[in-house]
Amino acid sequence: MDEILYAPWRDEYVSGERIDGCVFCHISTHKDAEDELGVLYRDEHCFMVMNKYPYTPGHFMIIPHQHTDKLEDLDPAVWLHMSSLAQKGVALLKDAINAQGVNIGMNLGKAGGAGIAEHIHMHLVPRWERDTNFASSIAGVRVYSTDFDKIFNKLKSLIPKYI
- State the pLDDT at residue 139: 47
The residue ranges of every structural domain in the chain are 8-162
What pTM, to 2 d.p., does this model score?
0.81
Residue 102: burial class (beta carbons within 10 Å; 0-12, 13-18, 19+): buried
What's 8-162's CATH class? alpha beta
Annotated active-site residue in 45, 59, 119, 121: 121
pLDDT higher than 60, residue 146: yes
- pLDDT confidence bin for 1, thresholds 50/70/90: very low
User: Among 48, 49, 54, which residue's Cα sits nearest to residue 10?
Assistant: 54
Q: Yes or no: say if 76 and 110 are a contact pair by the CB < 8 Å rule.
A: no
pLDDT, tens digit, 9 for 90 and up, residues 40-80: 999 999 999 999 888 889 999 999 999 999 999 999 999 99
- State the pLDDT at residue 53: 82
> Would you call 121 a catalytic residue per the annotation?
yes
